[in-house]
Structures are given as C-alpha cells and as structure tokens.
Amino acid sequence: MPARPLAAGNWKMNGLGADLAEVETLLSGLAASACDVMICPPATLIHRMAELARGTALGVGAQDCHAAQSGAHTGDLSAPILADAGAGAVIVGHSERRQDHGETDALVAAKASAAMGAGLRAIVCIGETLEEREAGQTIEVVSGQLRGSVPPDADPAQLVVAYEPVWAIGTGKVATTDQIAEVHGMLRTVLTEHIGAGAADVPLLYGGSVKPGNAAEIFATADVDGALVGGASLKASDFGAIVAALGSAAQA
C-alpha cells in the first residue's frame, strides 16, 4: 500500500445526536494507527463530531458540497461552510447523489475543485451499475467517470478515489477480489495519465458492503488502499473491526 490507507465511514442519512455515543466507543479503541480513519456524518453532526474527535486520530468529513463558494442556493452547503464546521474532507459524486440528484461527472469535478480550494480532501466516488457490468462496460464506464470527475489539476495530497460498484452498495453483494483488483489496477494507470505521477499517493478505496467479515480479504487485494463503508460504519464495533483489519493490512 504506497498511499496512506484510509477507512472512511459514510453515515448517509443516518445519525442523531444520540448516535455520537458510537463515536465515543470507537474513539476509546482507536490508538494511533497505521491508517487514517474518518466518519462522514450528516451535516448537522459535523460540528459536534469534530469537537468530540478533536486531538484524536479520527477525521470528520461531509457527504456532499455545492460547487460554488457561497451565494443564493437555499438549503445547500459550500465547501468553506463545511470546513468552518470542522470537516476535513467531503465525499463527492456518490452514486446515490448521481441517481437521486442527477449529478454528472462535470458537476462532480466542479465540487471536487471547490472542496480542494477550501482545503478539504475530496473523496470522489465512481462505479458501474449492474447493467453496465453485465454488458461488459465496467472498465469503459469507470475510467470515463474517473477522467470526468477528477479535475486534471487535482492536488494528489487532497484527493481520494472510491470505487463503489452500484450493485454492491447496501446489497450485501461484494465484488470479488479479482473484480476489485482489475478495476483498481486500471484506476491507478488512468489516474496517473490524468493527474501525473502523484497518483501513486492517492488512496484508492473500495466501497460496497464492506463488513468485518470480508475486510481483511479486500484489504489484501492489489491496489486497494482502504474502504468507504456505509452500513457497517454505523456501529462502533463493526467499524472498529474494519479499521483494525486495515491497520493490520497496512503493516503486513
């Protein structure tokens, strides 16, 4: 794992104030680790979670941002606003936003630029649908999304790429390690063509039904530098086990 590995939890539209107790439990077992650890809660919890995580190894991220710095966009949050609330990163282009809100690669790239401009790490998500995989289009679709969603002038130190096959998200269906290795190897090559040699330092995360029981196998796969974890990040015991598996893989 040349890039520093990252275990990022995506709480999606889950999390009330009471759920911060899970973060306290996670923090109690989180030693200085061989990997980075982050949770992306709903925006309403960013500030409180950042306060809880202050001085610990836990980073806090957001789940989306607007492409503009500020302005007349009722209900939206800009990257500077998220940074001000305590976020150090933001997920952009998650497949649920591409589906629910019609987000295009160009919009995702604009959001990633805005995030980096505000000093945040941009976690850019890409992944094929089941129909695309069955039609043999996975490599073409995912490489196209990568080129379209990552700004060519992206700072590698502020970039994370998450490969999340849409058919594996929240379904319990995990891509095989051969499928993951094929896509991640391609991603490293295309990212190097796209942003230059700094691509070697960009963590390539896998996402889609990562659980304590399959994490070690996924983290042992070539070119996998961590995971973006949805459902299993909501419970400190599950997410802690995934973080521990990544820490062991990083030291292996």
Is 47 in the active site?
Answer: no
Q: Identify which of residues 80 and 87 has a Cβ nearer to ligand PGA in the complex.
A: 87
Helix 105-117 and helix 138-149: axis angle, to 10°? 40
By CB under 6 A, residue 63 contacts ligand PGA: no
Q: What is the 3-state secondary structure (H, E, C) of 134-197?
A: HCCCHHHHHHHHHHHHCCCCCCHHHEEEEECCHHHCCCCCCCCHHHHHHHHHHHHHHHHHHHCH
Point out the residue whose Cβ comes nearest to ligand PGA. Answer: 230
- Residue 41 or 231: the one with the smaller Cβ distance to ligand PGA is 231
Active-site hit among 66, 94, 96, 128: 94
> 164 catalytic, yes or no?
yes
CB 141 within 8 A of CB 104: no
Candidate ranges 28-36, 42-50, 140-148, 162-170; the one touching ligand PGA (CB under 6 A):
162-170
Residues 6+ apart with CB under 8 A from 119: 83, 158
Instruction: Select the span of 26-34, 73-81, 148-156, 208-216 touching ligand PGA (CB under 6 A).
Output: 208-216
Give the per-residue contact string, 169-198, with ligand PGA (x = CB under 6 A; - = no). Answer: xx----------------------------
> What is the phi/psi pair of residue 171, to 5°?
-105, -15
Interacting residue ranges for ligand PGA, rule: CB under 6 A:
10, 164, 169-170, 207-210, 228-232
Active site residues: 94, 164
